[in-house]
Amino acid sequence: MSFFWPKVETLRVCSICYKGFPDSKFFLNSNKRPQAACKTCYMARAKAWKHANKERVRELQRNARQAAKAKRNTDSLPSTTTNP
């Protein structure tokens, strides 16, 4: 059987396109576990989601910008601020 099914890597089946890919074709989530969808499907889904949620994307981007700005401001505050 091995001549017919060469042993390369264990393939993970994408939950969207149902094709088998090695783990390198999957993004890892925060737990360092591969996502259920392959990179191609994940990107396609993310793109579709962004397209369908333009307002939400804008909001998230604005929040991220403001958070970064707030962090910069607190970082640059002088250390001699009055404590309560």
Enumerate binding residues for Zn ion (CB under 5 A).
14, 16-17, 38, 41
- Longest pairwise C-alpha distance within the chain: 76
Q: Report the residue number, 34 or 38, with the smaller CB distance to Zn ion.
A: 38
Q: Report the residue number, 11 or 67, with the smaller CB distance to Zn ion.
A: 11
Closest CA to 42 of 60, 59, 21: 21
The CB-of-52 to Zn ion minimum distance in angstroms stands at: 19
The CB-of-70 to Zn ion minimum distance in angstroms stands at: 38
